[in-house]
Chain A
């Protein structure tokens, strides 16, 4: 535990079926989360080996404030992505971070490959490799049901991670489902778990620890009050992230029909407002977050001619809605939620799967591929076909879907159509806001809008120089790195200001870290880029596909020269580190 002067790492070898605990004082300098995961990859990773090599580690790290303060609710997974071949991060909430804290596991390093499908059961006083063959092939929902019913311990204080068939089949954007409604998404962490034949991980958060001395209780109450009374977090609970659908549509920045457009005529009936009125069942929260941004919608479908219905609960957010909605031309919330549910069960990353199918639809329209490849006729707006296509993608049923499961560009290399591939390091996130977003997603560790705040800079509508844009991206990247090293939810970025973080770190018994935070973060940001570069990433070789240069936002057509100049400047800055 960080505040007790060391980082407790559980190193798991799936080949041997054993674990080893390391108490490491020297790792404290890496802060935690993003910083710690990169340091551990530097130590345990095999940067020159294939992402699927047995010894490649999956590293999950929490931070020095996890479990100590509200909204310090995320865990960071660092790994070599089978999609990009580079070091990558993915973050998840749910019950995981607190379960790890109370299991006294600051970081997990999972390496090796099991000889047959297995599950892990971890806790403060527990390590077991359990049978997984009976779960192999099962969807993410059924897998968790069986695990829950076969293990009573830790109810309410445990976290269950699992993969679906997509991960088992090594789809390169298979995700890891965390506690049903959250994910280690994007870039294929689920496929790495599948390669290791690791179907599921259960973590029991049953331990208890003494409180830090001094002002801890006072600061805890102060931060809790600030979060629950300031009003700053209201929007995340109210409509949640899907509030962005209409905002982005109004700015002509909502990726639509494979980004052939940036506004969607069907936006109203896939909007956050529509979901809240028609489909919202309730909101739930990650452990220790009093906000509750996880929106659960109702999927109700008829399964027989009489009045026979089944219903399921599906979490929705802006990005799954964009990916299964506007990007595929699907204009009804009910259909969108059914597609999200389908992708979830298979354990596919919803965003990547939607964007890949959007490309496939345009390729189909243009005659580059036909029904021989797609098996179902793909057409924008046809949710039924997409539902079947998602199953084909997860099952990798033929050459076409096998290639599409490697990524849009892999399929385009074979069939043509790279000029309309919407990839920026991986399939695009749901923000066609302009150059700063395009450049930042293409470079980052999560290859999403989250590494730095390009999408915000684009939306400020303040024409700025390349120099200013670059300094904005670098500053924001560092600030976000600090937060994701704690590990805070980024929705709390306006609560956890530099001053508030200092106060929290002092109260947690880490006054030195509070003092050195800025300087240490600067060094660690550099180190994290070096780790990515060690896996073969060359920022100077990053390109942005032609489709992005044709984007028109409310400000008019994007400035291609500005994209190129900012890409060059950002790549240069990273290359120099």
Chain B
């Protein structure tokens, strides 16, 4: 069964940004905080706690519907596969994203998009993130209800 990313326990987040740093380095080959498929930030100052903004693996994927070149293709279970060689950098994907998490790189013009690969999950020291079973077509909307994982040994 395909898996999708869910931020299941952001109350546990310590704001270390290891998920973003891991994604930028290992998935997007970038030394940055910004070229990441997931974005953690405070809810307005560090006293307010943290939120994660990430691809919700929509089905249908609105970014794929908006893509005129086939660079974005609907992925089974939700989310997209992205092929940069087909991308003409029009930015329609980013404008179509209902949660504004597709970032268009200012320098290259290419979108930075979550591939639902789960790399970020492996870098979260506090079990805030998980790859959960994608909801079935018959039972939409059940993603994110998987049991809470144990905090990994530190």
Measured CB to CB, the residues of A under 8 A from B are: 67-68, 70, 98, 102, 144-145, 148, 155-157, 179-181, 205-212, 216-217, 220-221, 224, 228-229, 231, 233-234, 237, 282-292, 296, 312-313
**Cβ–Cβ contact B14 & A148, under 8 A:** no
In the A-B complex, the 7 residue pairs with the smallest Cβ-Cβ separation, listed nearest first, are A156-B41, A208-B32, A292-B14, A285-B16, A290-B125, A209-B31, A285-B14
Q: Which A residues touch B42, using CB under 8 A?
A: 155-156
B residues 75-134 in Cβ contact with A at 8 Å? 105, 107, 123, 125-126
Give complex CA distance A179, B126 in Å.
Answer: 22
Distance, CA A205 to CA B107, complexed state (A): 15
User: Does B16 lie within 8 Å of A211, measured CB to CB?
Assistant: no
A212 CB contacts on chain B under 8 angstroms: 31
Is the beta-carbon distance between A180 and B105 smaller than 8 angstroms?
Answer: no
Question: When each residue 22-54 of chain B gets 1 if its CB lies under 8 Å from chain A and 0 otherwise, what string results?
Answer: 101110011111110001111011110000000
Q: Please, how many angstroms separate the alpha-carbon atoms of A51 and B32 in the complex?
A: 36
CA distance in complex: A181, B16 (Å):
14
Q: B14–A288 contact, CB under 8 A?
A: no
A209 proximity list for chain B (CB < 8 A): 30-32
Q: List 23 A-B contacts (CB under 8 A).
A: A67-B31, A68-B31, A70-B18, A98-B17, A156-B39, A156-B40, A156-B41, A157-B41, A211-B30, A211-B31, A217-B26, A221-B26, A228-B125, A229-B154, A234-B154, A284-B14, A286-B16, A287-B15, A287-B16, A287-B33, A290-B16, A290-B18, A313-B47
Shortest A28–chain B CB gap in Å is 18
Structural contact, A224 and B18, CB atoms closer than 8 A: yes
**Most chain A CB inside 10 Å of its own CB: which residue of B35, B39, B42, B46:** B46
Q: How far is the CB of A340 from chain B (nearest CB, A)?
A: 14
The answer, yes or no, to whether B7 is at the interface (CB within 8 Å) is no
User: How far is it, in angstroms, between the C-alpha of A229 and the C-alpha of B22 when the chains are bound?
Assistant: 17
Contacting residues, chain A, for B26 (C-beta < 8 A):
217, 220-221
Nearest-CB distance from A485 to chain B (Å)? 20
- A196 vs chain B, min Cβ distance (A): 25
Q: A231-B154, A237-B154 are in contact. Are A285 and B31 (CB under 8 A)?
A: no
Judging by beta carbons under 8 Å apart, are A284 and B34 in contact?
Answer: no
Q: A237 vs B123: C-alpha distance in the bound complex, in angstroms?
A: 17
Nearest-neighbour CB distance to chain A for B54, whole angstroms, equals 13
Of A102, A155, A288, the residue contacting B32 (CB under 8 A) is A102
Interface contact B14-A220, CB-CB below 8 Å: no
Q: CB within 8 A of A180: which of B30, B32, B47?
A: B47
Tell me if B25 and A98 are in contact (CB < 8 A). Answer: no
Alpha-carbon separation in the docked complex, A286 to B46 (Å): 11
- Chain B contacts of A145 at CB under 8 A? 45
A349 CB to nearest B CB, Å = 20
The reply to whether A210 and B30 form a contact with Cβ atoms under 8 Å apart is yes
Question: Cβ of A206 and Cβ of B34 under 8 Å apart?
Answer: yes
B18 touches A208 (CB 8 A): no
A515 CA / B125 CA spacing, docked (Å)? 33
With beta carbons under 8 angstroms apart, the residue of B34, B39, B47, B154 that contacts A228 is B154
Q: A217-B26, A228-B154 are in contact. List 14 more A-B contacts (CB 8 A).
A: A155-B42, A156-B42, A180-B46, A206-B34, A209-B30, A211-B29, A224-B18, A231-B153, A283-B14, A284-B15, A292-B16, A292-B125, A312-B47, A313-B47
Q: Would you call B64 an interface residue if the criterion is a C-beta within 8 Å of the partner chain's C-beta atoms?
A: no
Q: Which residues of A contact B105 (CB under 8 A)?
A: 208
> CB within 8 A of B45: which of A148, A217, A282?
A148
B152 at the interface (CB under 8 A from A): yes
Residues on the B chain within 8 Å of A312, using CB: 47
Q: How far is the CB of B144 from chain A (nearest CB, A)?
A: 22
Tell me how far the C-beta of A287 lies from the nearest C-beta in chain B, rounded to whole angstroms: 5
Across the interface, which residues of A come within 8 angstroms of B32, CB to CB? 102, 207-209
Contacts of B41 in A (CB 8 A): 155-157
**In the complex, which residue of chain B has the Cβ closest to the Cβ of A231?**
B154
Cα distance, A292 to B46, chains bound together (Å)? 13
Closest to B19 in A: A290
Contacts of B4-21 to chain A: CB distance below 8 A: 14-18, 21
Tell me whether B35 and A208 are in contact (CB under 8 A).
yes
Q: Which residues of B contact A210 (CB under 8 A)?
A: 29-31
> In the bound complex, do residue B18 and residue A288 qualify as a contact, i.e. CB atoms below 8 Å apart?
yes
Q: Is the CB of B45 within 8 A of A144?
A: yes
